[in-house]
Amino acid sequence: MSRSLQLTEARDRAGLLRVSSYDVALDLAADEATFGSVTTIRFESRRAAETFVDLKPARIVSIHLDGQPLDPETLDRGRLPLRLSEGGHELVVDAVMGFRQDGEGLHAHVDPADGRRYVYGMSFMDAAPSIFACFDQPDLKAPYTFHVRAPEDWTVIGNAPGSRVETVRSARAALWEFERTQPLSTYFVTLVAGPYHVLRDDHDGIPLGLSARRSLARDLDADADELFTLTKQCFDEYHRLFGIRYPFGDYHQAFVPEFNAGAMENPGCVTFRDPLVFSSRVTRGERIKRATTVAHEMAHQWFGNITTPRWWDDLWLNESFAEYLGNRVTADVTQYGDAWIHHAYARRQWGLVADQRPSTHPVAGNGAVDAGAALQDFDGISYVKGSSVLKQLNAALGDEVFFAGVVEHLTLARFGNAEMADLFGCWERAGAVDLSRFTEGWLRTPGADHLTVDRDAGVVRRSSPAEHPADREHSLRMAVADPAGAWRTAPLAVTGPETPVALGPDDAIVLDPDEDTWALTTPDPISLARFPDLLRDTEDTSLRAAVWNTVRSGVHNALVDPEDVVALAEAALPTERNDDAVGATVPWLVGRLVPVLRDPVAGLGRLHAAASALLGAAAEGSTLQLAAYQSLVSTTVDPATLRAWSTGTDLPAGLTLDLDLRWRVLVRLAGLGEIGWADLDRALEEEPTARAHVEHARAVASLPEPAAKAWAWDRFTGAVPVANYELAASGHGLWRPHQEQVTAPYVERYFAELPQVPRVHAGWVLGTVTQAFFPVTSHEPGTVARADELIARDGLDPTVRRNLVDATDDLRRQVAVKERYGG
């Protein structure tokens, strides 16, 4: 097992070394399990000292430092010790590396649709040394030159422009040479290689590219115009905002299989998860999600790639900026002007929930003692809360001062590294007042203020978490509906614990309907009682989203009776006209709310009726109709109806049974125990795509049969190794409501066997598997107690502990709702 780099070690090594260049030769045509990797690193040592280079090989062929051989046996848990004299050095590492299936390192995938093989590099967070030898930390940047031997029918794309220079017919291989890159951090380095379907375009002197597996060629062709248009619009806007041109040559967007994240901002070759190439019909909300992801990764070319945080405790300088600018630019210059509405439904709760957990942390200076710990902080705080804080700061400073400071920051640290203090110094020189109070309250203090309405006292109360006290000022708006249902909106400045407000006794109130601040808001009883009637007639999409967010926060904190939320859904869903609202709200209602109702079966039936009414009101062929039908599938309990739908029978006019809809129905049938394992196998054989394999795993694990649960469990323990997407789907399928008799043995097995899981899963996937296999349907105080017992155990892997803390907090809150409201 390798070690994760400590912050103290990174500082020591950065103070010692200056890396001049990397030259990396990879042989991807050797065999399907491993690849050759020869790395030449040229660097200087500022003094005589001992340090180490990071390396995670399958086998070492040879190592030479300044021409002298080093003993490969000195490699210890991913670190090769180096004894250096002062001055220049050359390290050459010839190694054999292993292809991976966990979405990290050099990931290899065989497309089940046609048997073709694809690879891509993900060097993020401790993974680069499994591709090439390196000093793996963000502040030892250097230029890279790649040379790649690959099968002759492959295309190879990297961080810099490259071309095929020679074909070796006898070996059925080709040699590719790549230009020298700009200075890059190790975690940006990528390579995408395989028989990819590639499309090309250009804009404003920048060569553009798109690629995906050949089995997705038709789908990529269908989406290409939209993707290229989004990319061009975003480039124009980022060039206008920054006044700094994109400096990394080509801009290629590669859609790759089994990618863990949404995307990764590698300069010159951004990688995306390939379900973002839509092979089935999707809602407008899904298209907005893709558009904001494209814009997010483009923002990173400046914040992250031109200027990189010195260490991961400032990762917000990457992610908060990309989240804010990605949504802003998408809303401002693309066809998706409603991107902030999508953000309200799809992202707001992710951040608010994270900020209320025991694992909450500051936006900046998050205490990332090592790279492994930092990976856990790529969460709703670093993305959504940080974005909100920047949005607030921009509103206070104005664009002129905000971007003047940003441009100076990017210019001073061009192709280098910087810290939070550097950026704030730039803002203050650009004309901002002293920002120290803002920094302390919003960036360095974790937790969210809770804003509530006290009608009797006629005030809005502000309180911060007891464990994280703060004195934050909020500039927001307050929406008020009078007894006749007419809404009015007024500004509200919350500057202390109590802020006077003028309210009628029957007025309904929504605080912060436009997401102007970062705060937890929950509804008072009078407003909650009025929301069903109000939402029937409210067309303002921001206001509708704000109502749902305040209600969801109320349930999360056991302050709202779930039965009242079902009543709201019955009234609101049939009048909804935004598919984002449906796509975000109904899965939460079904997955989180129904299980804590006093009568879950009756509650699900009421939601089914609401979804049916929405389907009847939606225009034929609209994306709202699609979202309504997806909701109908998740709430249907009649097996005859589901079986008819699974064959395309009795579908509403305007819908066709594509891959996504078919497997939605099959997974639902499996969860109800109304389909056989053999039937699922036949469905997979009929259309054996990568997506179908994942959904087949979800469906099999969902069957209420001991053999199916054992099948899923073998993936958790590593007894049956599978790739990351199938692994996560197996965990999610295992825990289904109303299957407690079958899943009961796995509650204790989860806690008993989880400590050993790091022996078979690592990195990103370790966090995923901890969450995916957590017993979410065991709404018992004893389960929470058992989780707390394990969390407190000494020696538990930090990644496991962090993800277990988060999953346990969610379960604890659901148990609290059931105990308070009799579920």
CA 378/CA 315 separation, integer angstroms: 8
Sheet with 269-273, edge to edge strand ranges:
197-203, 206-212, 251-256, 269-273, 263-264
Beta bridge partners of 106: 121
pLDDT of residue 179 exceeding 70, the answer is yes
Residue 673 — left, alpha, or beta (φ > 0 → left; ψ -120 to 50 → alpha)?
left
Q: What pLDDT is recorded for position 653?
A: 94
Task: Using the predicted structure, report yes or no on whether residue 366 has a pLDDT greater than 80.
Answer: no
The average confidence (pLDDT) of the chain is 96
The predicted pLDDT at position 304 comes to 95
Q: Are the C-beta atoms of residues 407 and 243 closer than 8 Å to each other?
A: yes
CB-based contacts of 21, cutoff 8 Å, min separation 6: 41, 42, 142, 143, 144, 145, 180
Lowest mean pLDDT among 231-235, 534-538, 670-674, 819-823: 819-823
- At 822 the pLDDT is 87
pLDDT at 367: 67
Beta-bridge partner residues of 462: 451
Mean pLDDT in residue range 592-618: 97
Q: State the amino acid at position 221 in one-letter form.
A: D
Q: How does strand 449-454 pair with strand 87-98?
A: unpaired
Where are the alpha helices (H) located in 283-379, listed in sequence order? 284-300, 316-333, 339-346, 348-355, 371-375
Q: What is the pLDDT of residue 373?
A: 76
Q: List pLDDT tens digits, range 160-172.
A: 999 999 877 767 8
Question: Angle of helix 339-346 relative to helix 348-355, nearest 10 degrees?
Answer: 40
What would the mean pLDDT of 140-144 be, rounded to a whole number?
98
Give which of 565, 569, 593 is closest to 581, Cα–Cα: 569
pLDDT-derived band of residue 372, with 50, 70 and 90 as boundaries? confident
- Tell me: pLDDT of 377 over 90: no
Nearest 5°: the CA angle 289, 294, 295 is 100
Which is catalytic among the residues 104, 265, 297, 576? 297
Residue 620 has pLDDT above 70, yes or no: yes
Q: Is 177 a catalytic residue?
A: no
Per-residue pLDDT tens over the stretch 645-681: 999 999 999 999 999 999 999 999 999 999 999 999 9
Instruction: Tell whether the model's pLDDT for residue 267 goes beyond 90.
Output: yes
pLDDT of amino acid 35: 98
Please compute the mean of the pLDDT values over residues 77-84 and round it to a whole number: 97
When pLDDT is averaged across residues 419-433 and rounded to a whole number, the result is 95
Q: What is the mean pLDDT of residues 505-518?
A: 96
Strands 17-27 and 144-151: parallel
Is residue 704 pLDDT above 90, yes or no? yes
pLDDT bin (cut points 50, 70, 90) of residue 523 is very high
* CB within 8 Å of 800: residues ≥ 6 apart: 754, 755, 757, 758, 766, 767, 770
Q: Which of 548, 556, 464, 558 is nearest to 513 (CA)?
A: 548
pLDDT reading at 1 higher than 90: no
Q: Which CATH architecture has domain 7-276?
A: Sandwich (2.60)
Tell me the pLDDT tens digit for each residue of 751-800. Answer: 999 999 999 999 899 999 999 999 999 999 999 999 999 999 999 999 99
Q: Dihedral angle at the C-alpha atoms of 7, 9, 11, 15, nearest 10 degrees?
A: -170
pLDDT for 376 beyond 90: no
- What is the distance between the alpha carbons of residues 781 and 424, in angstroms, rounded to a whole number? 46
Residue 141 scores a pLDDT above 90: yes
CA distance 409 to 80: 35
Task: State the pLDDT at residue 371.
Answer: 79
pLDDT in tens, 586-598: 999 999 999 999 9
Quick one: pLDDT at residue 170?
65
Question: Where exactly are the structural domains of the chain?
Answer: 7-276, 561-635, 638-703, 716-823
Determine the pLDDT at residue 823. Answer: 77
Mean pLDDT value of segment 42-68: 98
